[in-house]
Amino acid sequence: MLPYAVVPELPEVETVRRSLTPHLVGHRVVGIRARRIRLREGIEPASWRRRFVGVRVTAVERRGKYLLVRSERAVGLFHLGMSGRLVVRRPEEPQETHTHLVLCMDHGLELRFVDPRRFGVAVALRPGELREHPGLSALGPDPLGEGAGQNLVRAAARSRAPIRSILLDQGVLAGLGNIYATEALARAGISPLRRGRAIAPARLGALTRAIREVLGEALEAGGTTLSDGGFVNAIGGGGYFAVKLLVYGREGEPCQTCGSAIRRRVVGGRSAFYCPSCQR
DNA sequence: AAGCCAACCTGGACGC
DNA sequence: TGCGTCCAGGTTGGCT
């Protein structure tokens, strides 16, 4: 059961950010096409038009799995959910189904937000509204940045929850999803079922390093897919398929270290995969 | 009060 | 071939 669709986690979102930057920063939005649709946070066509037509994009930023398209007057806040994609296309290219929002840029290309499963977010805010946004304001530190290890140790020390659930808590570390959390635990030799409080700080240090390692590898792989110029798919050939998955989706297969059969358990409503002998 | 779980939604995989 | 059923994921809100 390998992932049949790439669900965007930190490396994928960061790859999208990098790929969009040259197409957006310094350019003006000249038009909006949008349909009113219920996503996790619904798209309001009028608000996108009012806030974004005519503005010049100054930056594309990432916070956890959120993307921010910034200008002086307005901020477009995106979350790709499970199936969301942001792609840059020529106007004559056919629009795929489930395209909910299109930003027409002054250079003639279009930024299209596509999200079949509609777990995503695409809202036009005033810059001042950002700090009130519940999803954004609750985010913990970036796993690749300062304070990640410290925050993980602190959160784990006071939690009886399984470590996999702690890793998926965006308030502890912002940007991990099930696949990279699962793989980082495998690399660190920690069972996803182990309670946070029952893990020694030194092992949490190893876990922090494993998280950085797996995210770094995925990021590097995603980055290489950007160098081909041309028009950018939100998520190219990189992502999960470029990172060697030790356990995710490998129930019943032999562990590459010890040969034991990989197990799958549902933890917090999500599949956790692990080697019962290498991960304790 | 922390932790668990259902709900949201669609398309792909699988079984009959 | 075609239909039905199940399942994946991120996040929130409700329940205990």
Contact, A157 CB vs strand C, < 7 Å: no
Choosing from A195, A209, A270, A276, the catalytic residue is A270
A129 CB inside 7 Å of strand C: no
**A70 CA to C2 C1' distance (Å):** 48
Active site residue A129: no
Q: Judge whether A137 and A106 are in contact, CB under 8 Å.
A: no
Distance CA A54, CA A124 (A): 14
pLDDT digit string (tens) for chain A, length 280 residues: 344 467 899 999 999 999 999 999 999 999 999 988 888 888 999 999 999 999 999 999 999 999 999 999 999 999 999 999 999 999 999 999 999 999 999 999 999 999 999 999 999 999 999 988 999 999 999 999 999 999 999 999 999 999 999 999 999 999 999 999 999 999 999 999 999 999 999 999 999 999 999 999 999 888 544 433 333 344 334 445 568 899 999 999 999 999 999 999 999 989 999 999 999 9
Write the secondary structure of chain A as one string of H (helix), E (strand) and C (coil).
CCCCCCCCCHHHHHHHHHHHHHHHCCCEEEEEEECCECCCECECHHHHHHHHCCCECCEEEEECCEEEEECCCCEEEEECCCCCEEEEECCCCCCCCCEEEEEEECCCCEEEEECCCCCCEEEEECHHHHHHCHHHHCCCCCCCCCCHHHHHHHHHHCCCCEHHHHHHCCCCCCCCCHHHHHHHHHHHCCCCCCEHHHCCHHHHHHHHHHHHHHHHHHHHHHHHCCCCCCCCCCCCCCHHHHCCCCCCCCCCCECCCCCCECEEEEECCEEEEECCCCCC
Residue A244 falls in the annotated catalytic set: no
**CA of A98: nucleotide with nearest C1':** B10
Catalytic residue among A51, A62, A63, A65: A65
Token readout for A40 is 């996790």
Query: Is residue A247 within 8 Å of A273, Cβ to Cβ?
Result: yes
A237 touches A6 (CB < 8 A): no
